[in-house]
């Protein structure tokens, strides 16, 4: 699958809905373009509240203080603006940040509130929450900067030009493009919105809680299933959908239809066998993790009989990276790390072994 966690949108949408409920405008800051080594890339958004609280990061924390100051101006005027940062070279005296990040970026800041009908974040939230996906084209220059077009609508003054519609429909990665309209050349940020990857956690024991928390923080759309209703409490699994069903009815869980990954960890042999059997029939689930040692895995596969063959190439058992995990939190970290690597198309090896150990 594509790396849908590069710019996780579910945390952004949760923050947006919270701020929208307060009915106070805030600022959306979005990276337009980067050069060199930067913490985040084009299309990454963050929110800055009216009180100056950042929700998200566009850098390792070195630019956010300055962005908050620019956000105050945007919030007061309602006029979008672009800020530029260049941290390359021996020093960056121009900005006085001294980050040493060896990169440059341009950031669009725009006000979002009742006066803007909460756009373009309302459109992004709709695409994420409906899991339909699509792309936006956000104007980045002139008095209309911050106005946009999206699937089925827009808030720009003119109808969506054919060139913008074509580029938006074909968009697979974020970036600024110059496109023609009847009134001249337009600079737009093309911003794809992918449905967040969906994870189903099979088992709601105490050790599933840190895994659910980490998956939610990473941007997964998480559902937790269990045959024990008492375990499925919203305060135990915040921001997760909770599904209780008898062991033999797991295949009816609606999230399985659009599921990308599942981790089986009920600690109950019969339940784990039922989960694996149902997951074996879901060919679209590319990652199936199983908690527990190898002998338990072999016992479960034997219980499945010929059905086990349908798990070939998809079963990650024992689940997780080899980090010496023993505690529930460490096991959750190992499992979340392996899952994130799978989404990103990586093996999960140590970075210093890929780029070389520094010399003294």
DSSP 8-state assignment for residue 192: E
pLDDT tens digits, one per residue of 278-299: 999 999 999 999 999 999 999 9
Residue 157 resides in a domain: yes
Same domain, 179 and 204: no
Q: Which CATH number goes with the domain that contains 228? A: 3.40.50.720
- Whether this model's pTM surpasses 0.95: no
Q: Give the three-class secondary structure for 89.
A: coil
How many domains in the chain? 2
Same-domain status, 113 and 218: no
Residue 182's pLDDT is what?
A: 80
Within a domain: 84? yes
pLDDT at 167: 97
Q: Give me the mean pLDDT over the 81-102 stretch.
A: 65
pLDDT in tens, 321-345: 999 999 999 999 999 999 999 999 9
Strands (E), 73-117: 81-86, 103-112
Mean pLDDT of 54-61: 87
Q: Which of 193, 218, 250 is the last residue of a domain?
A: 193
d(CA 240, CA 263): 14
pLDDT at 354 over 60: yes
**Residue 95: pLDDT above 50?**
no
Residues 173, 278 share a domain: no
- Structural contact between residues 203 and 175, judged by C-beta atoms closer than 8 angstroms: no
CA–CA separation, 216 and 242 (whole Å): 13
Q: What is the predicted pLDDT for the residue at 92?
A: 47
Beta bridge partners of 109: 29, 81
Same domain, 170 and 203: no
Q: 224-258, pLDDT tens digit by residue? A: 999 999 999 999 999 999 999 999 999 999 999 88
Together in a domain, 187 and 228: no
Does 258 map to a domain? yes
In a domain, 19, yes or no: yes
Chain mean pLDDT for the chain? 92
- pLDDT above 80: residue 85: yes
Structure tokens at 222: 């998480």
Kindly state whether residues 170 and 242 are assigned to the same domain.
no
352 is a domain residue: no
Q: Domain range holding 75?
A: 10-88+104-193
Give the separation between CA 212 and CA 222, rounded to whole angstroms. 7
Could you report the per-residue pLDDT of 154-199, keeping only the tens digit for each?
999 899 999 999 999 999 999 999 998 887 899 999 999 999 999 9
**Domain end call among 160, 193, 226:** 193
Q: Is residue 350 assigned to a domain?
A: no
Sorting pLDDT into bands at 50, 70 and 90, what band is 96? very low
Distance CA 100, CA 347 (A): 29
Mark whether 55 and 79 lie in a shared domain: yes
Domain-embedded: residue 205: yes
Question: Are 35 and 140 part of one and the same domain?
Answer: yes
Helix-strand-coil percent breakdown of the chain, rounded to 5? 35, 25, 40
> Residues 189, 205: one domain?
no
Residue 30 lies in a domain: yes
One domain, residues 179 and 115 = yes
188 and 217 part of one domain:
no
C-alpha pair distances (Å), 203 with each of 74, 112, 243, 244, 344: 47, 40, 10, 10, 25
Same domain, 188 and 202: no
């Amino acid at each position: 699958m594509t790396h849908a966690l590069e710019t996780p949108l579910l945390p952004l949408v949760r923050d947006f809905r919270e701020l929208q409920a307060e009915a106070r405008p805030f600022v959306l800051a979005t990276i337009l373009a980067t050069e060199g080594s930067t913490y985040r890339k084009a299309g990454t958004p963050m929110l800055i509240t009216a009180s100056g609280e950042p929700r998200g990061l566009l850098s390792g924390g070195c630019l956010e203080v300055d962005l908050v100051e620019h956000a105050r101006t945007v919030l007061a005027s309602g006029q979008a603006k672009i800020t530029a940062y260049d941290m390359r070279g021996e020093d960056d005296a121009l900005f006085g940040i001294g980050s040493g990040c060896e990169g440059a970026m341009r950031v669009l800041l725009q006000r979002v509130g009742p006066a803007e009908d909460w756009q373009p974040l309302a459109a992004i939230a709709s695409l994420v929450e409906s899991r339909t996906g699509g792309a936006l084209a956000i104007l980045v220059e002139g008095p209309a900067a911050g106005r946009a077009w999206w699937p089925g609508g827009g808030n720009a003054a003119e109808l969506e030009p054919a060139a913008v519609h074509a580029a938006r429909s074909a968009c697979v990665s974020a970036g600024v493009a110059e496109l023609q309209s009847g009134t001249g050349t337009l600079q737009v940020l093309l911003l794809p919105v992918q449905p967040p990857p969906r994870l189903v956690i099979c088992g709601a024991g105490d050790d599933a809680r840190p895994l659910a928390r980490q998956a939610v923080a990473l941007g997964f759309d998480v559902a937790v299933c269990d045959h024990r209703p008492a375990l499925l409490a919203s305060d135990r699994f915040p921001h997760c959908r909770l599904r209780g069903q008898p062991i033999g009815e797991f295949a009816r869980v609606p999230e399985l239809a659009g599921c990308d990954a599942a981790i089986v960890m009920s600690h109950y042999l019969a339940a784990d066998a039922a989960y694996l059997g149902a997951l074996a029939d879901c060919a679209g689930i590319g990652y199936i993790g199983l908690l527990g040692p190898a002998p338990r895995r072999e016992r479960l596969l034997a219980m499945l009989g010929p059905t086990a063959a349908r798990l070939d190439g998809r079963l990650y058992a024992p689940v997780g990276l080899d980090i010496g995990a023993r505690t529930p939190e460490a096991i959750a970290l190992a499992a979340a790390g392996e899952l994130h690597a799978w989404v990103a198309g990586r093996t999960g090896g140590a970075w210093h072994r890929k780029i070389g150990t520094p010399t003294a």
